Copies of this chain bind each other. A is one copy, B any other.
Amino acid sequence: MGISLGSNRYGKAENRVVRIYRDTPRHTIRDLNVSTALRGDFARAHTDGDQSDVLPTDTQKNVAFALAKEVGVPSPEEYAVALARHLVGAVPRATGAQVRVEEQAWDRIPVEGVDGGHDHGFVRRGTETRTVVVTVSGRDADQRTWVVSGLEDLTVLKSTGSEFRGFLTDGYTTLEETTDRVLATSLTARWRWEDPGGVAFDEAYDAVRATLLSTFATTYSRALQETLYAMGRAALETDPRLAEIRFSAPNKHHFLYDLARFGIDNDGEVFHAADRPYGLIEASAVRDEASDPGEAWTDVRSFL
């Protein structure tokens, strides 16, 4: 009875790379959390303890910081592509690499008399985390590159314009129908680029984000599923270079607090925001002529 090494990969996770551009007095900042992972034929490291094919994760960390200067961070996507390709190139036994980046945005601090905020004083924006997953497979002419952009923890809420009724019931159903409820979620979205070449990723991010937000706000919701799919369609319609978009959205329940027990009306005004459990809705929208996703979604955390 034999036992063999199965799939494996390794890298350095959560390098906290902060890149400041200070070529002019008006600085800019890119605040990244960078994780790398290499795939390939590293069997000897597992079976014989032979590290001669293994570029240490410590070296991968050094490269992650070095490329922040050598390549820079024009966008987290471009930085991640460069880093992934560099790592495959540096490791003969590697067959592919994945680089994940999470970016925190900083705003300029408003100060009197300075249009658009302070030159080198910043406050963390705090709303959502911007994400990138770049997967590179193969080498040289055969190399393929997939770019998935996205965001995490964009927390949104509608205080009306949401219902939930007409659902399937059985002997375990106790939920009452509602024609007016609070709908809230902490959105995770990821969108795959059909061809990442030439995309202005920062502008594209802002546009997709704005579309997701305004669609959430302006679409009457008969279920979180319907809202997500409307958001996905709107995003794909906004930018024809998007092949698909996927969502993971906890339904953050806001339960109307029963104040009638105390003789108090509560017509949609006082809610208990519950932590757990929560509904978890995952959905996606795909362009009909989209290419096969290949390895774009391989090992992407908690996704469809």
Contacts and interface: CB of A to CB of B under 8 A. Distances in A.
B262 A156 contact: no
A65 B272 contact: yes
A289 interface: yes
A68 interface: yes
A63 B264 CA distance: 12
Contacts of A59: 169-170, 172-175
Nearest to A25: B160
A228 interface: yes
B27 A214 contact: no
Interface string A273-293: 111111111111111110000
A154 B273 CA distance: 23
Interface residues of A, number: 146
B280 A37 contact: yes
Nearest to A240: B1
A49 to B, nearest CB: 3
A159 B269 contact: no
A12, A15, A19, A229 interface centre (most CB from chain B within 10 Å): A229
A66 B174 CA distance: 13
A109 B12 contact: no
Interface in A118-143: 118, 120-128
A185 B206 CA distance: 27
A22 B159 contact: yes
Given A111-B218, A273-B16, A282-B9, A29 B170 contact: no
A233 B18 contact: no
B166 A5 contact: no
Interface of A: 1-22, 27, 29, 31, 35, 37, 42, 45-59, 61-63, 65-66, 68-70, 90-91, 106, 109-112, 118, 120-128, 154-161, 164-175, 182, 210, 213-214, 216-218, 221-223, 225-226, 228-229, 232-233, 236-237, 240, 244, 246, 250-251, 254, 257, 259, 261-262, 264-266, 268-289, 299, 301-304
